[in-house]
Amino acid sequence: MTAREGDGGIFSTHRQLLHTPRVNPDLGIDPVYRLDAERDILDTIFSYAVFYDAVDIDSLVQIFAPDALFVDILGSFRGRAEIRDHFHDLTRGMTSALHLAINPVIRLESRDRARAASFLFAIGARDRGEARGTTGTYSDILTRGSGGVWRIAERIIGVNMSFSLGDPSAQGAANALRHVNDGRAR
């Protein structure tokens, strides 16, 4: 069975959410609230990428709920302190990065809880002299806390592809983009 057939692969969370109503009609959530909530949730999802790429760990950690769970290929991290330490380790030696959270799908489960899925595309360079790219998914649970602020309560990152872009210099970046555009990313 392939990921496209629903084996828990890259498309599974998106497919599950897309087959779920945007809002359960029994919840009594009005359309204006739903639109405002979805916009605020998108801001939270996109803030993750911006703060990570800017290595603004203090702001990054604040978009997580105090007891949040963060899971990536390196492990599981619970609470802001563990998440902060993990991001310090991840960004050590990072010289540049660009994350994109694309094709977001959001479903409200209540006025204060939502599920979201986004595809991720990230490229970055480290001080070791190599640029890398990663694609995958963000599978999120978000909760609305004090002040109406939406925070990530759970983020599970699934990586479906990681590849070298080679030399991160201007010439290396131009060559890497040419490979990606030609469908030859390695």
pLDDT tens digits in sequence order for the chain, 186 residues long: 233 334 456 678 888 888 887 777 788 888 899 999 999 999 999 999 999 999 999 999 999 999 999 999 999 999 999 999 999 998 888 888 899 999 999 999 999 999 999 999 998 888 777 788 899 999 999 999 988 999 999 999 999 888 888 765 555 555 555 554 455 444
Cα 5 from chain centre = 23
Containing 79, the helix (H) or strand (E) segment is helix 79-91
What does the block give as tokens for 134?
A: 């990663």
pTM over 0.85: no
Rounded Cα distance between 174 and 96, Å, is 15
Q: Which positions ≥6 away from 185 have C-beta within 8 Å?
A: 133, 163, 165, 176, 179
| pLDDT (0 to 100) of residue 67 | 97
At 145, phi and psi to the nearest 5? -110, -150
3 state DSSP class of 125: strand
* pLDDT score for 30: 87
Per-residue confidence (pLDDT) for residue 4, from 0 to 100: 36
Q: In what order do the strands lie in the sheet with 75-78?
A: 75-78, 64-72, 150-166, 131-144, 113-126, 94-110
For residue 121, the model assigns a pLDDT of: 93
In this prediction, residue 185 carries a pLDDT of 45
Domains (range + CATH), the chain: 3-181 (3.10.450.50)
